[in-house]
Structure 1
């Protein structure tokens, strides 16, 4: 398998899994266990390709938030998105500066997939018992910001799953509303993460030559497949539960745990 084709495959995997509650980072690291490891810059920047996709899907919503400051509801929603992003940045940046790195083995990711799947099943059941509500509160914004940090520290958790189900448990139990808030707050979060990773590359790792052509291929692949995936998911969550994703996570995680050699 050529390096370019491997990069293309990784981009497709990223685009398909970034917005599904199955962990894109976890899937990338699992794939790289067999396709060959990539740099943190590669892993984070191709996520930005998927974020470009969600920006295109939500372009009208984003434009209304940017131009609708005269409307109190629009203004409050924008401020809550900003608060969630600020919490992620204020908590996540110190974690990064302390030297956090992605794990080099698949085992912790497999465990995170299993435990995350169980958590999704429990969280959705608990959320359904609460009164129907579609409004984002300030508390929900803070918790979503913290959930993004947890997902970033523990690959396999899934940023979208953490954000969606924390929001649902905190009272935003309409799945489409929770998904929309999670996706929108992911836009500045992932763009900031990609920018920071690029800055780190320029300042701290000048000797490491990134394969820019392969990165570009993966970025475009993630953008195209991400656009398709998020459009599909937004329609899916209007009519279905997240049970299928939870079962998939558990089955994949157990398969990895049972099939991996010791130390993998």
Structure 2
């Protein structure tokens, strides 16, 4: 298949799944297998990581007003009851650091799991059951934290630790780990979802930015931080020199993922406020079962 068409398809998959709790890493891996993309090719390994930048740019644009308000109100917060230790900006960075350090320690394990359809299938299945149970329990309780400005330092640390699961077990989903972890510690669906979006920004920028830098400087051999499931496999990426064709293919994927993600985030916010996460939990379970049955053929 033409590389440009492949890039459009992968961009659509990335934009659709990056912020939904269904694992963009698993969906990209499945799509690449169906398209018979050589996963040992260093270019496509890099592509799978860097394409996420398009989706994160869409998120930053959609949340630009909210993010600017956080910076303007730092450190006392919009209600004047925050400090430098529990302001949303600080809590976002805390969750980012808490996720990054353990992930770095598990980088070899993560690399082995990254291309395993069976691991992804089990992660999708188990994660779907867990998300369904937590969301059902949370909807029957009365969460105390209704906005990210009411979060505590302990909640941010807990959510950061939960995100490590998505790095160690691709298919778990960073979004699902953040949302379910937040609901466990008493956050409402909208608050959990918003913090999931906020903490994804530094994680995805660090992961995609590093690999793009490594591509532009092919003699740089440092190991990449395991900040996202896709990025964790990049320690095996051999340095490569990008061609004009390669840059165009990458740019197409990023632009398509930006456009698709821009629409998906708005829809996702509205859906969750009205219906919760049950639809995504059921989808994960069904996809996990299907992959376990068909995994050997991919």
2:99 maps to: 88
Higher alpha-carbon deviation: 243-252 or 104-113? 104-113
The match for 2:260 is 225
Aligned partners of 1:148 and 1:196: how far apart in 2?
20
Higher RCO, Cα 8 Å, sep 6+: 1
Unaligned runs of at least 5 residues, structure 2: 222-237
Deviations 1:169-200 (A, max 9, x none): 1111x111110001011011100111222344
Which residue is 2:54 aligned to? 49
The equivalent residue for 2:296 is 261
- The residue number in structure 1 matching 2:269 is 234
The range that moved more, 183-192 or 98-107, is 98-107
DSSP-derived class of the 1:194 partner: helix
Query: Do the aligned partners of residues 122 and 73 (structure 1) sit closer, same or farther apart at CA in structure 2, a change above 3 Å counting?
Result: same
Report the counterpart of residue 116 of structure 1 in structure 2.
127
Q: Give the alignment partner of residue 165 of structure 1, picking from 176, 180, 187.
A: 180
Q: How far off is 1:64 after superposition? A: 0.6
Report the alpha carbon displacement of residue 86 of structure 1 after superposing the two structures with TM. 1.6
Aligned to 1:8: 8
Cα RMSD for the two superposed structures: 2.0
Give the TM-score normalised by structure 2. 0.81
Aligned with residue 154 of structure 1, among 161, 169, 175: 169
Q: Contact 1:40–1:197 at 8 Å: present in 2 too? A: no
Query: How many matched pairs?
Result: 261
The alignment partner of 2:143 has SS state of coil
User: Residue 73 of structure 1: CA displacement?
Assistant: 4.8
Instruction: Pick closer, same or farther for the CA change 1:21–1:62 going to 2, 3 Å.
Output: same
Structure 1 residue ranges without an equivalent (≥5): none
Give the TM-score taking structure 1 as reference length.
0.91
Query: How far, CA to CA, are the matches of 1:197 and 1:242 in structure 2?
Result: 32
The residue number in structure 1 matching 2:72 is: 67
Alpha-carbon deviation of 1:58? 0.5
